[in-house]
Amino acid sequence: MTIAQQLAQELNLKQWQVDNTIALIDEGNTIPFISRYRKEATGELNDEILRTFDDRLTYLRNMEERKADIKRIIDEQGKLTEELAAEIDKAEKLSELEDIYRPYRPKRRTRATVAKEKGLEPLADMLYNGTIEDGTAEQAAEAFVDTEKGVESAEDALLGAMDIIAEMVSDNAEHRKKIREMTTKDGLLVSKATNPDEDSVYRNYYEFAEAVAKAVPHRVLAINRGETEKFLSVKVETDEEKILNYLKRKELSKEQTVGCEYVERAIEDAYARLIQPAIEREVRNELTDIAHEQAMQVFRENLKNLLMQPPIRGQVVLGLDPGYRTGCKVGVVDPTGRVLDTGVIYITHSDAQRESAKTLLKKLIEKHNITLVSIGNGTASKETEIFVSGLIKEFSGKSIKYIMTNEAGASVYSASKLAAAEFPDFDVTQRSAISIARRVQDPLAELVKIEPAAIGVGQYQHDMNQKRLDEVLGGVVEDAVNSVGVDLNTASAQLLGYISGISKTIAENIVKYREEEGSFANRTQLKKVAKLGPKAFEQCAGFLRIPGAKNVLDNTSVHPESYPAAEGLIAELGYSKEDIENGKIADIDERVKDLSIDKLAEKLGVGVPTLKDIVAEIKKPGRDPRDSVEQPLLREDVMSMEDLKPDMILTGTVRNVIDFGAFVDIGVHQDGLVHISQLSDRFVKHPMDVVAIGDIVKVKVLDVDIAKKRISLTMKGL
């Protein structure tokens, strides 16, 4: 089976979809470009499926390379047979492939290689094959005693021969595959406390056992971390007797042969010393890999939903980065994100300082006509929220709201070279307040400045393979930025760097071109940017917007290659570009229906999916897909945990979704947990099937534990 055939089977795709997609990837096209502008070729595969496709294609190609390497190495040893080559080709997993290769891999010095150096391999063969015809095994071993080689006695010879047999049994690929299957099917993942008297967050795992086959990913990660932090000892328990019976059944002759007891001892040693520890490592590694992939998918989905939060437009925002000792940092930005004012206030110190803080904020609110306060949710945020809520009440007749903003990564950004280049005149603390203010105006534009892993919407992200995590999260950011598109004349180099086909250097060159030549009037001007060649233009042009451009299509996601088709469509429908720009196309759907989209597509020389996208774009030039998402929850008043009572019904914002539930901000500083069992009246396989970050939800209070700062919530019956 070819790689293309395997992909079609695994992903349930038609062969032409797979062949076309592989060709597009190999031509250097990006995932966002293929997803958006090559729908006819792929059968409208979305970016998520395409990324899975790309990952799997890379894995399978790496497997093919590894197979070729293994066959070459074995062939150089003169041991490659047609049967062995076929077995290598048939392997579907890397673990299976490495099992086949194990007997031929150059070995470090082992007990078996030492025994072979002592000339004991013939004795091992005689014992293993049952070919000792005269005398006992001990007598046969006498012939191999050689003090110069370190074989002092027949017992030494037999021990060395058993080491060789043990390695032969261990290297058998069929045995390893079978034992791995038995361990996965029947094994138990067991954890115990290293010190039962010491309390920790891992107490639930002090006496814990779960079937390997049913191990839950987030529990695997918790156990791994508990082991790393030395609170837990962990092992995989198996039915050892069952496995040994299998090995002896396979390896021992039905007829009793001379020396068979030594072969039996070698089999037991092979399992205990060589096979079991290796299989346990492999099984635990596989459980960890599965758990990491699951955690990455959770992180991926959470990050996507966070990045796609709708902007709060048209407001002057006061950003507050709370703190105790160093005070609360203040940043004011206008509706475009331009910095208007900065400062520091102290609201957790003396009454005099609180009054001074109140006076300063009142002046700023009046001076800049501030309508929204964005409060970072870190240290001292509760005190800041109470302070702001009280301040808002003193402005009668003026509508001011506040919002609690996830400040994860703000400190990382504010101390970065990027922030220093963007705000050279402000110190680190002022930059974080500005970032918190801007995050509500355009979450996507601000969050792309931060390493994705530093945005706290995952679980156990620091335990994962950081290279793989960066790849996964980088893809999420890339898809989000390209699905929204960016304003070519205002986007930062950081934001431009996520656009399809634009490297960091090209992004910087675009900004430099803007600074030297002025704003872009049309997309064609992109071709004048240094190092932005035809391929890069093809990949990026459709994702870059120019509001107010002479050609209204430059402010849509219609690709320049489709401009003739778009202009032909506008003419066929009886509109002008001015009609499109001024929104005078209320009856566009009826006109398209009357003319038949299939016939229009054929006449204009494009596919139906592309034509549908063109229609959607000219209906609303410059549209932002985030506008269809529910707006964030704004507040005026504040509550505390002490105000909460069981059965109280509240409205909150989903802040994080993990495998076992969702954390909801209900305005009391401490997020409440809706356990997976409380998310819905129906069965929920995974919380993400029900909620997503940013969702506004109704919840009922089940229990409040003020001492442990825990709030239990339910969404059942609401």
Q: Which residues of 160-194 are buried (b: 16+ CB within 10 A; e: fewer)?
A: bbbbbbbbbbbbbbebbbebbebbbeebbbbbebb
Instruction: Enumerate residues 6+ apart whose C-beta is below 8 A from 684.
Output: 676, 677, 690
Q: Which of 53-62, 141-150, 294-303, 475-484 has the lowest mean pLDDT?
A: 294-303
The domain boundary, picked from 606, 628, 650, lies at 628
Residue 51 is encoded by which pair of tokens?
A: 């990324």
Task: Please answer whether residues 417 and 313 qualify as being in contact, where contact means their C-beta atoms are separated by less than 8 angstroms.
Answer: no
* Together in a domain, 324 and 425: yes
> Does 119 have pLDDT greater than 70?
yes
* Together in a domain, 54 and 186: no
Higher-confidence position of 588 and 12: 12
At 526, is the pLDDT very low, low, confident or very high (cuts 50, 70, 90)?
Answer: very high
pLDDT, tens digit (0-9, with 9 covering 90-100), for 664-711:
988 777 889 999 999 998 998 999 999 988 888 889 999 998 888 899
Instruction: Give the 3-state secondary structure of residue 85.
Output: helix
> Where do we find the tokens 């779960």?
210
Residue 269 in any domain: the answer is: yes
> Does 509 have pLDDT greater than 90?
yes
pTM of the complete model: 0.80
Residue 569 in any domain: the answer is: yes
Q: Nearest CA to 184 among 56, 251, 254, 93?
A: 93
Instruction: Enumerate residues 6+ apart whose C-beta is below 8 A from 557.
Output: 36, 485, 542, 543, 545, 613, 617
Residue 605 in any domain: the answer is: yes
Beta bridge pairs of residue 696? 653
The domain boundary, picked from 244, 269, 299, lies at 299
Residue 493 in any domain: the answer is: no
> Does 397 have pLDDT greater than 80?
no
Instruction: Give the 3-state secondary structure of residue 487.
Output: strand
* Together in a domain, 345 and 406: yes
> Does 454 have pLDDT greater than 90?
no
> Does 160 have pLDDT greater than 90?
yes
Task: Please answer whether residues 711 and 650 qualify as being in contact, where contact means their C-beta atoms are separated by less than 8 angstroms.
Answer: no
DSSP code of residue 226: H
> Does 399 have pLDDT greater than 80?
yes
> Does 114 have pLDDT greater than 90?
yes
Question: What is residue 7's predicted lDDT score, i.e. its pLDDT?
Answer: 96
* Together in a domain, 202 and 233: yes
pLDDT, tens digit (0-9, with 9 covering 90-100), for 373-393:
999 888 888 888 889 988 988
CA–CA separation, 388 and 373 (whole Å): 8
Question: What is residue 95's predicted lDDT score, i.e. its pLDDT?
Answer: 86
> Where do we find the tokens 């007749």?
397
Radius of gyration (C-alpha) of the chain in whole angstroms = 33
Question: What is residue 638's predicted lDDT score, i.e. its pLDDT?
Answer: 67
Residue 506 in any domain: the answer is: no
The region that residue 18 occupies, defined by phi over 0 for left and psi between -120 and 50 for alpha, beta otherwise, is: alpha
Q: Nearest CA to 228 among 212, 247, 205, 259?
A: 205
* Together in a domain, 262 and 324: no
Full residue range of the structural domain in which residue 117 is found: 111-299
* Together in a domain, 263 and 154: yes
Residue 407 in any domain: the answer is: yes
pLDDT, tens digit (0-9, with 9 covering 90-100), for 17-55:
999 999 999 999 999 999 999 999 999 999 999 999 999
Long-range contacts of 89-98 (CB under 8 A, 24+ apart): 91/63, 91/67, 94/63, 94/66, 95/180, 95/282, 95/286, 96/173, 96/177, 97/63, 97/66, 97/67, 97/70
Question: What is residue 379's predicted lDDT score, i.e. its pLDDT?
Answer: 82
Higher-confidence position of 429 and 536: 536
* Together in a domain, 389 and 248: no
* Together in a domain, 137 and 78: no
Residue 677 in any domain: the answer is: yes
CA–CA separation, 694 and 655 (whole Å): 6
Instruction: Enumerate residues 6+ apart whose C-beta is below 8 A from 254.
Output: none
Residue 83 in any domain: the answer is: yes
Cα torsion 454, 457, 459, 462 to 10°: value is 0
pLDDT, tens digit (0-9, with 9 covering 90-100), for 619-642:
888 888 888 777 777 777 767 788
Residue 523 is encoded by which pair of tokens?
A: 């997309």
Question: What is residue 458's predicted lDDT score, i.e. its pLDDT?
Answer: 66
What's the mean per-residue pLDDT of the chain? 91
* Together in a domain, 350 and 424: yes
Share of residues in the chain with pLDDT > 70 (%): 99
Residue 433 is encoded by which pair of tokens?
A: 């307040």
Residue 339 is encoded by which pair of tokens?
A: 């910095």
pLDDT, tens digit (0-9, with 9 covering 90-100), for 181-226:
999 999 999 999 999 999 999 999 999 999 999 999 989 999 999 9
* Together in a domain, 583 and 687: no
Q: What is the mean pLDDT of residues 489-496?
A: 92
Residue 112 is encoded by which pair of tokens?
A: 């078996």
* Together in a domain, 96 and 188: no
For the chain, what is the domain count?
5
The domain boundary, picked from 378, 407, 441, lies at 441
* Together in a domain, 290 and 365: no
CA–CA separation, 332 and 73 (whole Å): 65
Question: What is residue 21's predicted lDDT score, i.e. its pLDDT?
Answer: 97
CA–CA separation, 513 and 529 (whole Å): 7
Q: What is the CATH number of the domain that holds 680?
A: 2.40.50.140
Q: Where are the beta strands (DSSP E) in 594-671?
A: 649-658, 661-665
Question: What is residue 163's predicted lDDT score, i.e. its pLDDT?
Answer: 96
Q: Which residues of 574-610 are buried (b: 16+ CB within 10 A; e: fewer)?
A: ebebebbbeeebeebeebbeeeeeeebbeebebbebb
Q: What is the CATH number of the domain that holds 604?
A: 1.10.150.310
